[in-house]
A and B are shown apart, each in its own frame.
Chain A
Amino acid sequence: MKRFWAWAAIVVAAVYFFLPLLGMLEFSLKMRRGEYSLDAYASVMGDPQFQASFGYSVIMAGLTIVFGVLIVVPTVFWVRLKLPRLRPVMEFVTLLPLVIPPIVIVFGYVRLFNTSSWLPLTGSALGTDFLLLCGYAVLSLPYMYRAVDTGLAAIDLRTLTEAAQSLGAGWFTVLARVILPNVLVAVLSGAFLTFAIVIGEYVFAALLDRPAFGPYLVWAGGNKAYEPAALAVMTFALTWGCMALIQGVTRFSKHTRMSR
């Protein structure tokens, strides 16, 4: 009886979740009248605006990952090694982006960094790009911090650092050649999650008026019929890809750790 209800719950949930996915897949194939075709995908791929906005978001995601890693890894390392008292503070600050709605944070950006302020970042395209990059880094901070923190908790930080230092390594060498390789798996899972978050992000890009993939999606949603479904399928596949990569690297790390 219990097993029946368990199966019932899973099946109902599966139907609820697969119907929209199936719906968007079916709809994306319907562009040509009377038969299924990949026309919508071809139309999306051939759209120069798609190429430009998607490329922009991919680059932004890559830069966000690099920027996030550069900010988070040394900080978590330093706090764990020298300032363990600060850990609760770090926990709190890195949780804030989940508490404060993103739209409020970007509202603050628009007002704080406008052209008449002390730091007029929104005055130029490059400045706004940098602001968007920082915004994305803030959005991904909770995930990146937790991933790296868990990764560093699993290794003997002090011994590794002291061993490297007694062999003559400076702080940079310690971080780049000893610590980073040891937490690479954690950093990678944080990175893939960041990618999944940044690639379709809408509110920051729209309100900072940058030509990212999210605003393009909304524009396509209002102006095209079949392409939005194709875009949704592609984004879904991309999200799957990121999650699969996270699982992949985690499994890989377990494997290497066992064989050691």
Chain B
Amino acid sequence: MTSSRLWRALPWNGLGVLPFVLFAVLFLLLPTAHIVAGAFMDAAGGFTLKNICNLFKPEIINAFWLSIRLSLTSAVIGCGIGFAIALAVVFGGLPRALRGVVMTFSGVTSNFAGVPLAFAYVATLGRVGFVTVLLRDWFGVNLYALGFNMISFWGLTAAYVFFQIPLMVLIITPAIDGLRREWREAAEVLGASNAQYWRLVALPVLAPSLLGTLALLFANAFGAVATAIALTGSLLSIAPILLFNQIRGDVLGDPHLGYALAFAMIVITGVSNGVYVVMRARAERWLK
């Protein structure tokens, strides 16, 4: 009797999700946990904070700092331009068909990242690239004589912006759609000017969406490796490239420092994704 009750009390329904749980644990949670645990272990397997402290070497700090600046700059630029495009599409009085074109195009270009993007970029702004040659032959402007270099902060930023803008457009357009016509009318009835409506009504409502998307774009750029490697041949020392080289050949000469490096990356992308989730929850309060 008791055994059959126990039998029935067992979570048999849970069996249905067993394959998924096994898959997620083996190939997502366990590998990540292994890295996090390794960041707090010494070579003998004991607990230590030494690896985390070792992160504060100038070469690693500089790599992270460059990564953060790169991600933040490309995220801010992507946010600004993407927001402008989304505003133009929703409120600009443009032909309706254009909206579909912009959204589809954004869907394609936000997925067109990685190595091919780097090639497109080289073909455009490289030494014999399309725009470089165009500027030289038609306008007599030599980009490279002006100090432009693709393997630099601004060179890489310009390439990252290419996939940041479409992502911004895809995420922020529904939020702008959520601005109700009644709010504008109510503001106008109360005597608000257009600028006042935007400053006091629309932007505060959109602020969580904007901030959240900024955080998401930041994380998106921070984890990107392929574009940077294809463009710079792992020359530019940003955090993901440092980790890539560490995995390939232990360039730091300390396997556990590699774990700590990866752990620090998880913390940064985790925090910015957390900001995104919190902000989205806040945005939904208004937009529903």
Contact = CB atoms under 8 A, between A and B. Distances in A.
Contacts of B87: 6, 9
Given A103-B240, A239-B112, A214 B23 contact: no
Interface string A112-141: 100000000000000000010011011001
A42 to B, nearest CB: 18
B123 A9 contact: no
A191 interface: no
Given A10-B94, A221-B230, A101 B240 contact: yes
Contacts of B98: 10
B105 interface: yes
A243 interface: yes
B220 to A, nearest CB: 9
A203 B121 contact: no
Given A78-B16, A104-B32, A202-B225, 19 more contacts: A7-B92, A9-B85, A16-B165, A23-B130, A71-B23, A82-B16, A83-B13, A93-B28, A98-B273, A103-B225, A103-B247, A107-B31, A107-B35, A108-B33, A207-B244, A207-B247, A218-B230, A235-B116, A243-B104
Nearest to A193: B111
B102 A10 contact: yes
B23 to A, nearest CB: 6
A107 B16 contact: no
Nearest to A92: B277
Interface of A: 2-3, 5-7, 9-10, 13, 16-17, 19-24, 26-28, 71-72, 74-75, 78-79, 82-83, 86, 93, 95-112, 131, 134-135, 137-138, 141, 193, 196-197, 200-203, 207, 214, 217-218, 221-222, 228-229, 231-232, 235-236, 239-240, 242-243, 246-247
Contact of B20 (A71, A201, A246): A71
